[in-house]
Structure 1
Amino acid sequence: MKNLKWLLLALFIISTCTASLLAQRISIRGHGGWHKKQRSINLDVPIIADIDETSKVLSLEFLEYIGEVRVSVADANGNIVYGEVVNTQNTSFHIIPLDDVASGSYELSISDSENYAE
């Protein structure tokens, strides 16, 4: 039984390390702020963005309902390469395929009528 616990712990550590190597977390800076009811954990921007450079997929996780938001990805010249309105009531995850996008620097923007995060 003791060996089984150590084996499960080792598998958990390996899977956590492998997942962190494949995905890169992107920090999102907010302008304004998401005005919601106070909770025990106060987050400036209730969104987590992860990019998997291998599969060229950007995933967004909305940690709370923030209404309809405009999600866009722009290249270094400001050209929008992806844009969509997402209703966070219907989904807490949103996947953005980037396989048709050339390598380079891009800006992710998420906004509603009052708030803006990039």
Structure 2
Amino acid sequence: MDNLQIISRRNDVTPFYNEASIVLNLSDKQRFVETFGLTALEAMSAGLPVIVPTEGGIAEMVEDGANGYKIDVQDLDRINCMIEEIFQDKDHYIRMANEANQVSLGFKESVMIEKILTILNR
């Protein structure tokens, strides 16, 4: 296949996010549920809009139309439409990319430690 490249596991995925314009996580909720969604968070921290499943922890990070979209993996037509929508309007893409990055800041190590300590100190 000319349109498929298989790359072995990498410790540093930054170069892939740096070359991407959008990241899709198409986990099938009928088979398993993404409990957190590190790939989406990594993508958002790189300023990339994401398309994620409609259920699980991964979906909690995404606000439809703001920093990405929550779409059922079976709905390929909607996935295609949303990808086209993201790229049709440069200003919309930039807003989504910026919002994705802003959401990711809430998961920085220092923020997470502070939240954990707040819970533990109650």
TM > 0.5 fold call: no
Measured against the shorter chain, the TM-score band is under 0.3
Name the one with the larger helix percent.
2
Greater Rg over alpha carbons, structure: 1
TM-score by length of 1: 0.27
Normalised to the residue count of structure 2, the TM-score between the two structures is 0.27
Q: Which has the higher strand share?
A: 1
